[in-house]
A and B are shown apart, each in its own frame.
Chain A
Amino acid sequence: MIPAPTRRSIIKTGMLFACCGMMHSSFARAQSSLTVTEIASGVHAFRGVPALMLAANEGKICNLGFIVGNESVAVIDSGGSTAEGRELVAAIRAVTDKPIRYLINTHMHPDHIFGNAAFAETGATIVGHHNLPRALAARGEFYLQSYRDAMGAALMADVRIMPPTQLVTDVVEIDLGGRKLTLKAWKPAHTDNDLTVFDQQTATFFTGDLCFLGHLPTMDGSLRGWMAQLGALASIEAQRAVPGHGDVPVNWPQALDAERRYFDVLAADIRKSIADGVPMAKAVTSAARSERDNWHLFDDYNERNATAAFAELEWE
């Protein structure tokens, strides 16, 4: 059987050319790259599509970014496939030749971390929330398996689960050379391993999935924890923000309004069902239905959110 040409084989061919004397940078530009926008001086962002991760979109559903300092580059999330991660590397190389020192993972979800392997050869240190290695240990194999169905074996073949080696327990600063980023590890909210990135120079705030716009927020941590930390999120004095999903950039803290409203409705509906003795299976079919027209992917995620919320809130 003759294998069809894959992205990988095309890249290997590219590498051959590179060895034969092509400039490194011209190789990088030959690789297709993500369309990124410079939203502030030295701050670049890619906007994902509001969709499920599929072979057709190569998992490019969440927002990504990178920040260029005097000496080095920090990347915020790697995308939903190694293919996307490589395109991100190409987009960075189109802007700067400075070394990529940090790959920051904002949390455990595949759309944000499946591109990590593309950074293996850049020498970047992967940085994450102190709970991220544990979360990936519990889910990594499952993610690899379940996304083989959704994205196809070809795209998944070179995806690796690569946990962070530099962990953030509270707040740390990293320095890109004359440019400091503040990394903050949050208490359980969207997940139990949410990390945000704040660029001090331009006051640009990368929220990871603590902020959703357009794409319905998904519950994989603690609804109560998320709601309780909205105030602290809103108090961050940012000129602009890059949410995990939705427009890039957005005004801060107004960008939190939509998800706050959804959480309020969801929690109120679920609490009422619990108080009325409505069983979970029934309660989740009606909760937060009034929010349906406000979001993409509502039918894909709302019942799941309601299920998680019910299991959490019935302990109140």
Chain B
Amino acid sequence: MTFNFTDRRSRFAIVLSLAFLGGLAPNAMAQSASGPEPTTWNSLKGDVFGAKPIEPADGIISIEAPKRAEDAAIVPVDLRFKTDAASGRLKAVTLIVDENPSPVAAVFQFGKDAGVTHLATRLRVNAYSYIRAIAETEDGKLHMTETFVKASGGCSAPAMKNQDEALASLGQMKLKVFPSTAAGTEPMTRATEMQLMIRHPNNSGLQMDQVTRYYIPPHFIDGLTITQGDRLIMSMVGGISISEDPNFRFDFNAKPDEDIKVDAADTKGKKFQNEWPIQSSTL
């Protein structure tokens, strides 16, 4: 394996800390009105992917997001992956919001036989920005797709709405299984759709307390692993651009009668764990 989990995490950490140190507000926000010339991305991509060439997605990955971020704190993003024999398996997907203070929202990795073809999550979007997804196929090649999102109008801010509630129920999880619409197919040959919800403020830590003048420390989910039995479905190294109460809806090839297990960790070192039995009747 040329690219393991640890590599990803450290690369992610570098980008994250660059954002923390590097005068994030002026740089990231000043060009909010500059429109679709991807200048931020051009200067950012070397930090994330080095000199590695990035090809157009060409259908291997597609992205969908609203043209305008209605609620800046909760912008739904849909990713679809083509994983046929010709394109090969997707190993990883990096999700980036160019103009956010910490642009790398998340790096997802997928299990070998997970068969994830669709992943929806929710992002914070601070300003007019490209949201881009870069897929890494098994051959190590990178494929990129992007969409442009206008910032929300009005008083919508990428901040928590109900902070006490978020902290009171920290780490609570909910897993929904959506009944398969394709009847008569065998498990492992069809996708099962699931939604994982985790209660967490996913605080940015980039906000200054107006009274104390100290930055509020960051507090977010930085690691997540979803497994079924002993097989990896998906893992994520996440950042502050993932919305509060991180939410992932995805489909994958489920096996009947094996538990779904979720392990999450946040930046304060807290671990969150949960397990759900999956009966074949629900698949």
Binding site for B on A (CB under 8 A): 52-53, 109-111, 131, 133-143, 145-146, 149-150, 161, 163, 188, 191-192, 218-222, 225, 277, 279-281, 284, 300-301, 303-304, 306-308, 311-312, 314-315
**A-B residue pairs, 4 tightest by C-beta:** A304-B70, A281-B76, A138-B159, A303-B70
Among the listed B25, B153, B162, which residue makes an inter-chain contact with A150, where contact means beta carbons less than 8 Å apart?
A: B153
Chain A residues touching B, majority SS: helix
Assess whether A109 is in contact with B155, with CB atoms less than 8 Å apart: yes
The verdict on A111 contacting B122 (CB below 8 Å), with A221-B161, A281-B76 known, is no
CB distance from B117 to the nearest CB of A (A): 15
User: Given the known A-B contacts A137-B207, A142-B157, A300-B154, are A188 and B164 also in contact in the complex, defined by CB atoms under 8 Å?
Assistant: yes
- CB B95 to nearest CB in A, in angstroms, measures 15
Q: Which of B195-221 contact A (CB under 8 A)?
A: 197, 199, 207-211, 216
Q: How far is the CA of A315 from the CA of B151 in the complex (A)?
A: 26
Cβ 8 A contact of A307, one of B76, B160, B178: B76
Is the Cβ of A307 less than 8 Å from the Cβ of B71? yes
Question: Which of B126, B127, B162, B199 lies in contact with A225, CB distance below 8 A?
Answer: B162
Interface size classification for chain B:
35 or more
A110 touches B76 (CB 8 A): no
Query: Does B188 make an interface contact (CB < 8 A)?
Result: no
Query: Which of B64, B154, B162, B179 makes the CB contact (< 8 A) with A218?
Result: B154
B161→A149 contact, CB < 8 A = no
Q: Is B186 an interface residue (CB 8 A)?
A: no
Is B36 positioned at the interface, with any CB of A under 8 Å from its CB?
Answer: no
List B contacts of A150 (CB < 8 A): 153
B208 near A141: Cβ-Cβ < 8 Å: yes
Tell me if B47 is interfacial: C-beta within 8 Å of chain A: no
Say yes or no: A222 contacts B162, CB within 8 Å. yes
How far apart are the CA atoms of A117 and B177 in the complex, in Å?
52
Task: Please indicate the chain A residues that have their CB under 8 angstroms from the CB of B243 in the complex.
Answer: 311
- Are B71 and A161 in contact (CB-based, < 8 A)? no
A136 to B159, CA, bound (A): 10
9 new A-B contacts, CB < 8 A, other than A304-B70, A315-B245, are A139-B207, A142-B159, A146-B151, A192-B161, A225-B162, A277-B193, A306-B70, A307-B70, A311-B122
